[in-house]
Structure 1
């Protein structure tokens, strides 16, 4: 599945439309964010995570979404189930992000 680009204007709707969501908050100047982008895309195409929607949000341009997830560092990953924030982490380690995604499937 492709990574969905979201903004403050459609973030709530994206959460309503998808049961299981992982959001990557990034910034254009963030080197770790850029390095993680291909990994996030690869994970989104993994059959293991078929029911999970992968969302990208530019944290600088979308302050409402950033605040609602409690973003404190970048890249930041947050998981949502049925529109509710479950957990968020700031990490550039793929293993940590995979652990977070696994929580959606448990």
Structure 2
């Protein structure tokens, strides 16, 4: 599934309408965010992730979503189940992303 770039209001709608949501918070100036983007996209396209919605959120432009996940550094990965934050942390490691997805 393609990674959707969303804003605050779209994010709330996605959380309300989807059981499993993975989020990558980024900023345009963040080099590690850009380096991690292809890995995030590749994982989102894996067959076993078909029931999870993957989104990208610009942390600088979407303060409500940033606050919901407790973003403290970038890139920041988080997973939500049934609209609730399960876990999130600043990371650009594929292994951490996979460990988060396993918690869904």
Same-fold call, TM cutoff 0.5: yes
Task: Give the CA deviation at 1:64.
Answer: 1.0
Task: Give distance in 2, aligned partners of 1:67 and 1:84.
Answer: 13
Is the counterpart of residue 35 in structure 1 residue 58 in structure 2? no
Task: Give the CA deviation at 1:94.
Answer: 0.8
Runs of 4+ in 1 over 4 A off after TM superposition: none
TM-score norm. by structure 1 comes to 0.95
Name the SS for the 2:53 alignment partner: strand
Structure 2: 5+ residue runs without aligned partners? none
Task: Give distance in 2, aligned partners of 1:75 and 1:84.
Answer: 20
Structure 2 partner of 1:26: 26
Is the counterpart of residue 98 in structure 1 residue 98 in structure 2? yes
The correspondence of residues 73-92 of structure 1 with structure 2, limited to 5 A, is 73-92=73-92
Is the counterpart of residue 70 in structure 1 residue 33 in structure 2? no
Task: Give distance in 2, aligned partners of 1:78 and 1:99.
Answer: 11
Name the SS for the 2:73 alignment partner: coil
Task: Give distance in 1, aligned partners of 2:54 and 2:9.
Answer: 17
Task: Give the CA deviation at 1:9.
Answer: 2.0
Structure 1: 5+ residue runs without aligned partners? none
Name the SS for the 1:9 alignment partner: helix
Aligned pair count reads 104
